[in-house]
């Protein structure tokens, strides 16, 4: 519990700082990106590679800022009764596009007639997207991501399973630490964000992994909020 309080205090402090500067950084970056894009279009072939790198790095900086902002804001969210399956189906075209680009497959295994839940659609999309992208990034260029939903007694369960490299035991406990990443271009903010989204939905998130075989993230979203 003490760890938990410490974590929340840290987040709210970081959140106040982030809220005041992030927006201000995003605007000039959008302008820079626009002009670099224009410069690239008017530049000779031998400079194209440099512009590609500049744009890639700008996009990376942007995703750090966006992830950081989402994590730090820790917003009070508005929830609506809706179906987890329909959120997944809405996200599917985006996921498929990602998968196709990497030569990967996505398999859906959604249980029909799941009970509806109180969800914030935007956040749940972000949760699924983060878990699926992590799965894809663990797989290089072949394999399948499975997205499953099913009901258990008092919760609806979402599972994202990949056939990737897996996670060594000693790293499992660090996964949800802000800035923990093993990727050269990672932010280490995806899973902390997932955790905070799941917590705001009165849920839990668990991970099971075998090195060299793959990983499953399981999110359980309670049907009823806990008593106040
Ligand atoms: P990032 O993706 O930017 O590295 P995350 O918070 O999303 O940050 O993930 C943190 C780390 O957890 C990753 O760098 C990776 O080492 C590990 N990880 C997360 N998901 C998976 C997965 N599906 N398979 C293997 N490793 C994973
Ligand atoms: Mg990630």
> ipTM of the predicted structure?
0.99
- Looking at per-residue pLDDT, the higher value among 145 and 225 belongs to 145
User: Which ranges constitute the DSSP H helices of 42-120?
Assistant: 45-73, 84-102
Is residue 112 predicted with pLDDT exceeding 70?
yes
Q: How far is the CA of 73 from the centre of ligand 1 (A)?
A: 22
Element (H or E) spanning 207, and its range? strand 203-210
pLDDT at 29 over 80: yes
Q: What is the pLDDT of residues 149-208, one digit of tens each?
A: 999 999 999 999 999 999 999 999 999 998 899 998 888 999 999 999 999 899 999 999
Nearest to 217 by CA among 166, 165, 161: 161
Q: Evaluate: CB of 191 within 6 angstroms of ligand 1.
A: yes
pLDDT at 187: 87
Q: What is the mean pLDDT of residues 3-23?
A: 68
Distance CA 9, CA 205 (A): 21
- CA 217 to ligand 1: nearest atom: 23
Ligand 1 site-directed mutation target among 68, 131, 134, most atoms within 8 Å of CB:
134
Considering every ligand atom, which ligand is closest to the CA of 179?
1
Minimum CA distance residue for ligand 1 atom 23? 135
The answer to whether the CB of 181 is under 6 A from ligand 1 is yes
């Amino acid at each position: 519990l003490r760890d938990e309080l410490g974590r929340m205090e840290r987040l709210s402090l970081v959140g106040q700082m982030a809220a005041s500067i992030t927006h201000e950084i995003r605007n000039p970056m959008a302008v820079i990106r626009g002009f670099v894009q224009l410069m690239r279009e008017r530049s000779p072939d031998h400079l194209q590679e440099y512009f590609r790198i500049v744009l890639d790095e700008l996009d990376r900086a942007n995703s750090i800022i966006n992830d950081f902002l989402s994590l730090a804001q820790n917003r009070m969210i508005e929830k609506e009764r809706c179906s987890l399956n329909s959120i997944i189906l809405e996200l599917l075209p985006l996921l498929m596009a990602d998968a196709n680009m990497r030569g990967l497959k996505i398999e859906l295994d959604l249980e029909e007639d799941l009970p509806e839940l109180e969800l914030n659609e935007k956040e749940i999309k972000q949760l699924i997207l983060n878990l699926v992208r992590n799965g894809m990034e663990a797989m290089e260029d072949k394999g399948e991501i499975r997205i499953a939903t099913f009901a258990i007694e008092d919760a609806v369960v979402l599972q994202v399973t990949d056939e990737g490299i897996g996670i060594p035991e000693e790293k499992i406990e660090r996964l949800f630490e802000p800035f923990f990443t093993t990727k050269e271009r990672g932010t280490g903010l995806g899973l902390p964000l997932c955790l905070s989204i799941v917590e705001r939905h009165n849920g839990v998130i668990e991970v099971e992994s075998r090195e060299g075989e793959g990983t499953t993230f399981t999110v359980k979203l309670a049907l009823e909020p806990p008593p106040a």
